[in-house]
Amino acid sequence: MKQIIHYPKLDTILMVEEAIQHMDYPTKTQLWKALPKKMMYQTFCLIVDYLEQSGKIMIDKDRSIIWTWNPKMIKKIQRKMWEKKDSKSNKILKKDEFLPVEKL
């Protein structure tokens, strides 16, 4: 396991996120060189790993970074997950209207 020398601050993470969103599928090196403020490469790699693990980016087979985070779509999916249709009335039920499993 690598020893982490420096943890990034929130403003640094946000700077990297913004740069990714405004670039057309950069590689890690292209992105690192294009940042408005310089940082240690180890810190930069830590941020990229964090963004990938949190689902905000994907790195494809060509090593290009793709911004995948879409909060509006996630909210739609979450809403759909918490809605069910009643089989008899075809009415959409909200989470608090679900029948407990033991009553089914």
Tokens of residue 10, six digits: 């929130």
User: What pTM was estimated for this model as a whole?
Assistant: 0.68
Domain membership of residue 3 (yes or no) is no
Provide the pLDDT for residue 79: 75
Domain membership of residue 40 (yes or no) is yes
How far apart are the C-alpha atoms of 25 and 66, rounded to whole Å? 6
pLDDT tens digits along 67-87 = 999 888 878 877 776 665 555
Average pLDDT value for the chain:
83
Whether 63 and 76 share a structural domain: no
Domain membership of residue 53 (yes or no) is yes
Domain membership of residue 1 (yes or no) is no
Number of domains in the chain: 2
Beta-ladder partners of 66 = 58
Q: Residue range 63-70: average pLDDT?
A: 92
Tokens of residue 9, six digits: 């601050």
CATH code, 20: 1.10.10.10
pLDDT tens digits along 39-53 = 999 999 999 999 999
What is the distance of C-alpha 30 from the center of its chain? 21
Provide the pLDDT for residue 64: 94
> Which residues constitute the domain of residue 81?
71-103
